[in-house]
Amino acid sequence: MIITDDHMHLYNHLRLKALEQFKETGGTHVFLVSLLCHHYDVRPNSGKDFAEVFDRHLSLVEKANRIVKAYAVLSVHPAEITVIGGRVGFERAAEIMKEALDLAGKYVEEGKAVAIKSGRPHYPVNRQVWKLSNEVLMHAFEVAKDVGCVVQLHTERYSKEGMVEIAEMADSVGLKRERVVKHFSPPRVREFEEIGIFPSVLAGNDNVLKAAEQGDRFMVETDYIDDKKRPGAVLGPKTVPKKIKELLENGYDEDFVYKICAENVAKVYGVEL
Ligand SMILES: [Zn+2]
């Protein structure tokens, strides 16, 4: 049985052991997302400086592939605007982030990664930073449209209005709404189906069961951060396999699991499993 975690990080806690745990509990496929530059002690002054972050992430993903099937997602985290902007100014930070997205797009074209990650801050920011963040996100959509990949979205707290606004941004550059994956989604499968953006449901509490009650158009994730300071956050690496087993115990069949963990993933990302 294929069991896929759609969004996980490996950093400084369990590292590859997290994937051993994922595998032991039944996990087979994982999307590994790079972290912010400061996690790699990189202080970028240009988009090119993200190459070190991306290369280190890709070498980790290569090792991960000896344990389970792992796909690389290259992130230009929306909070970079604050981190980098604090040093070089917000306008310049936005330029650097756009250049970094171009670079991420090149890696995707070369087949090294399957998706990029962008979005806008999840914490309150001033109008200038919000505007710049939207410009960066728009640029991510252009890159994704050009190279034909998914954008994983990291955003403010979910609201339907916010999602519709983002969906319309994707429309404006001709990127299909289904190729925009909302990471950290609530289990509002029907609402996402109306909007068109594809939900990656955070597998905490009974979210997966709640999502399943509304249909099978979703994926699941832990957003495991692998941070020594927050060892179980956001959810531990065994969570997705556990929650998939719960689905089976609650009367959902293996075809249903195949749909959310394999078919949806293959279709949305354009990957083979
Ligand atoms: Zn994450």
- Residue 28: predicted pLDDT: 98
Domain tally, the chain: 1
DSSP letter for each residue of 39-71: GGT---SSGGGHHHHHHHHHHHHHHHTTTSEEE
* 146 Cα–ligand 1 center, Å: 24
- Residue 2: predicted pLDDT: 98
Give pTM, 2 decimals: 0.97
Q: What is the DSSP letter of 180?
A: E
- Residue 144: predicted pLDDT: 98
- Residue 109: predicted pLDDT: 98
Exposure string for 169-201, b = 16+ CB within 10 A, e = fewer: bbeeeebebebbbbbbbbbbbebbeebbbbbbb
Token couple for 246: 């719960």
* 7 Cα–ligand 1 center, Å: 6
Token couple for 193: 């189906």
* 248 Cα–ligand 1 center, Å: 27
* 230 Cα–ligand 1 center, Å: 13
How far is 37 from 19, CA to CA, in rounded Å? 23
* 33 Cα–ligand 1 center, Å: 7
Backbone phi and psi for residue 9, each to the nearest 5 degrees, phi listed first: -120, 150
* 229 Cα–ligand 1 center, Å: 15
Other beta carbons less than 10 A from residue 225's beta carbon = 21
Residue-number span of the structural domain to which 183 is assigned: 4-269
Look up the CATH number of the domain holding residue 131.
3.20.20.140
Q: Tens place of pLDDT for every residue, the chain, 273 residues?
A: 999 999 999 999 999 999 999 999 999 999 999 999 999 999 999 999 999 999 999 999 999 999 999 999 999 999 999 999 999 999 999 999 999 999 999 999 999 999 999 999 999 999 999 999 999 999 999 999 999 999 999 999 999 999 999 999 999 999 999 999 999 999 999 999 999 999 999 999 999 999 999 999 999 999 999 999 999 999 999 999 999 999 999 999 999 999 999 999 999 999 999
